Amino acid sequence: MPIRALIFDVDGTLAETEEAHRAAFNRAFSERDLPYSWSEERYRGLLEQTGGRQRLLRFLLETGLAYDGAATLAADLHAAKNRHYGLIIGAGGVHLRPGVLECLDRARALGWRLAIATTTGRENLIALFRGLVTPIADRFECVVTGTDVSALKPDPEVYVKALAQLGVDAAEAVAVEDSVNGLVAARRAGLRCVVSPSLYTRHQIFEGAALVVPQLDQWRMEEGDRSLIGG
Ligand code: XBP
Ligand code: MG
């Protein structure tokens, strides 16, 4: 099937945002005098759980908190984390990952439509779009976020919704991801998936990916479906 649309993940794919999320989680802990601080190594493991609130809940349960207390604290910390994330990202100077702009430009030249399917909440995506040195928000005709779904990746819901909004069949679209959770979500929705591993996912094994490239400008998109064999 010819490609008619690309559906992009955000965190780790468009930009290396996870260090800003990690710093924001740590600021939320420290302003409440909680004895937690997530190192890069710790955060790599914690990222196996998608969604900031769900990640906090899993962590708090592992520290031994009872469910009700942990759920309330996770919600409170997540709201604080998002406030800090907005401030960090809002300070500006956030760069797209190398190769992303070239990929978006080539997709436009090929007449491929663009959408977003992300786990992060809509407010965080808006903050990121505002903080980016190169504005790209108006390139995406459809945006589905964690705020819009009942189950997060690796559940396929976010991709299923993006496909429905585009009015495109799964066979005509390609997902662009950086993580195994994202790849699994895309595959469950019936999509082919191009993966560009990020800072926190370089150690992962991307079984079922159509293509794995260090940077998205290494994907030879002009060659159509055959380009999925790589650059
Ligand atoms: C990214 C995430 C997000 C961010 C935090 O997953 O899991 O949870 O870490 O965002 P993906 P929120 O790139 O696979 O979509 O705090 O807004 O949930
Ligand atoms: Mg990602």
Active site residues per annotation: 9, 11
User: Does the pLDDT at position 213 exceed 70?
Assistant: yes
Residues 123 and 139 in one domain: yes
**In a shared domain, residues 152 and 201:** yes
Q: Which range is least confidently modeled, 142-156, 194-208, 212-226?
A: 212-226
- Of ligand 1's listed atoms, the one at least distance from the Cα of 54 is 18
Share of the chain above pLDDT 90, in %: 94
Residues 131 and 150 reside in one and the same domain: yes
178-199 average pLDDT score:
98
CA dihedral 215, 217, 221, 225 (to 10 degrees): -10
Same domain, 101 and 171: yes
Find the domain containing 69 and state its range. Answer: 18-91
Report the separation in Å between the CA atom of 178 and the middle of ligand 2, taken as the mean of its atom positions: 5
Domain count, the chain: 2
pLDDT for 151 equals 97
Chain segment 5-45, per-residue pLDDT in tens = 999 999 999 999 999 999 999 999 999 999 999 999 999 99
Ligand 1 atom closest to Cα of 50?
7
Report the separation in Å between the CA atom of 12 and the middle of ligand 2, taken as the mean of its atom positions. Answer: 4
> From residue 24, how far is each of 60, 77, 78, 84, 190 by CA, in Å?
17, 10, 9, 5, 34
Q: Is the pLDDT of residue 224 over 90?
A: no
The number of C-alpha atoms within 13 Å of 126 and in the hemisphere containing its C-beta is: 6
